[in-house]
Amino acid sequence: MFGERSGQAFQKEFDMPRAERGTSRKDAHRGHQPEVGLMGTKGSLVITALGDIPLLRQVRNSRFVSHHQLFKLLEHDAVVSSRRSFNWRIQRLLKAHHIEGLDAVHWDGSRVYSVTQNGLIALESQGEFAVALNSRTRHMPDRIQVFHALELNAIRLSLARTALLVSWQSDVEVSSANMVSGTYQKDYDAIVKMWVGNEVREFALEYERTLKTRTRYEKIRAALEAESNVGCVVYLTVDPNLMLAILCQLRHSAKRVGFLTARSLKEHLLAAFVATDTNRPMVSLEEFLQKHAWTCNRKET
């Protein structure tokens, strides 16, 4: 489903010739025009560096992303502004099998996409290579990860729409960096930079939907204690009970770890309460980050 338009009106828009497709005032101001899906002599799609590549890169880095989330993420990055042009671009990439829609999976009434091998090849042809997810990867994103990925997108957008977010390095990017140079001790779900007061603070973010085994948490605690490239970790969970269970597993880690629910973060942002230990009072996320997250370009000792 594509939400606001009926299927007939939606398809009609994509079938419109270029002369009949307008340019939004914002696009015209930026000098952008809705791009036509150029076809080669054998019917192959010609990928555009300014329009298609940022979209494909975002789908790849998200692993899974809904139609609405994708538009909002690209809008935040100033890649798109016209919903009409965005919808048209999605349709041409779907038809060329560069992205695919998941059957029977929706998020807030919006269709969910993932990148295909064709899409990865297109990215790599433009120099956009990710070691952790490339065209020769044997296993494409597993659908068991769908709602984990979609919730991470929602968390990211909650920070972006309030202008707190400075940058978000996804798990695909973090994993790729680790495979190349071992940057971090763990493949975090994200490395986040955001405004806290008048400073930009950086921290690792993890999101948990299920409880792991005790052995897994022992390995995670060891990785966190060995971590030297982030000042603290923010652990988000799907509900308070899971938060408490994970806190009990990781509370003795030497690395500062703050726990809260994803819902609390999305609703209260920096005012959300963070737990650090069962025997200590909760503090605001703002206070936690001011105390433990590194200021960008400087590492605390």
pLDDT in tens, 111-170: 999 999 999 999 999 999 999 999 998 889 999 999 999 999 999 999 999 999 999 999
Angle (CA) 278 244 159, round 5°: 105
Summarize pLDDT for 238-254 with one digit per residue, the tens.
Answer: 999 999 999 999 988 88
Q: Which amino acid is at 61?
A: N
Angle (CA) 257 170 241, round 5°: 40
Neighbours of 176 (CB within 10 A): 21
The span from the CA of 246 to the CA of 210, in Å, is 10
With 60 as the cut, is the pLDDT of residue 24 above it?
Answer: no
137, 82 in Cβ contact below 8 A? Answer: no
Q: Which amino acid is at 94?
A: L
Angle (CA) 7 12 14, round 5°: 100
Confidence of residue 226 (pLDDT cuts 50, 70, 90): very high
**What topology is assigned to 1-142 in CATH?**
Arc Repressor Mutant, subunit A (1.10.10)
pTM: 0.84
Q: Cβ neighbours of residue 46 under 8 Å, at least 6 residues apart?
A: 37, 38, 39, 40
270 vs 15, residue with greater confidence: 270
Three-class SS state of 125: helix
Three-class SS state of 65: strand
The span from the CA of 293 to the CA of 257, in Å, is 10
Three-class SS state of 243: helix
Q: Which of 97-101, 176-180, 227-231, 252-256 has the lowest mean pLDDT?
A: 252-256
Average pLDDT over residues 62-69: 98
Q: Cβ neighbours of residue 195 under 8 Å, at least 6 residues apart?
A: 163, 164, 166, 201
Domain-wise residue ranges, the chain: 1-142, 162-301
Q: Cβ neighbours of residue 196 under 8 Å, at least 6 residues apart?
A: 270, 286, 289, 290, 293
Average pLDDT over residues 171-188: 96
Residue in the block written with tokens 């938060």 = 243
